[in-house]
């Protein structure tokens, strides 16, 4: 998934930007939503410390917590 996406870095090569980069507001809004979701997921101890060893169990716990967050 992330490997297929084009790189969206915004760092100038020499450290001094001569002109501002174009800003994709829609991309930043989507990113903000995802970052806030991950911050809320980290409030759940089981998800933050990854108690589940199997990927399937971790994914199921993450899905369950996501539903609880969306519902509440």
Spans of the chain, pLDDT less than 70: 1-17
Which are the contacts of 42, defined by CB distance < 8 A and separation ≥ 6?
Answer: 48
pLDDT at 46: 86
The whole-number pLDDT of residue 49 equals 87
Residue whose structure tokens are 């509440």: 72
CA-CA distance, 37 to 10, in Å (whole number)? 23
Residue 2's Cα: distance from chain center in Å?
A: 11
Handedness of CA 35, 41, 42, 48 (dihedral sign): negative
**pTM, entire model:** 0.56
Among candidate residues 41, 43, 45, the one with its CA nearest the CA of residue 63 = 41
- What pLDDT sits at residue 12? 65
């Amino acid at each position: 998934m992330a490997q297929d996406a084009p790189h969206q870095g915004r760092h100038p090569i020499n450290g001094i930007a001569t002109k501002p980069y174009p800003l994709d507001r829609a991309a930043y809004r989507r990113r903000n939503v995802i970052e806030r979701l991950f911050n809320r997921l980290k409030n759940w101890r089981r998800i933050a410390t990854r108690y589940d060893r199997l990927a399937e169990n971790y994914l199921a716990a993450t899905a369950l917590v996501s539903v609880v967050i969306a519902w509440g």
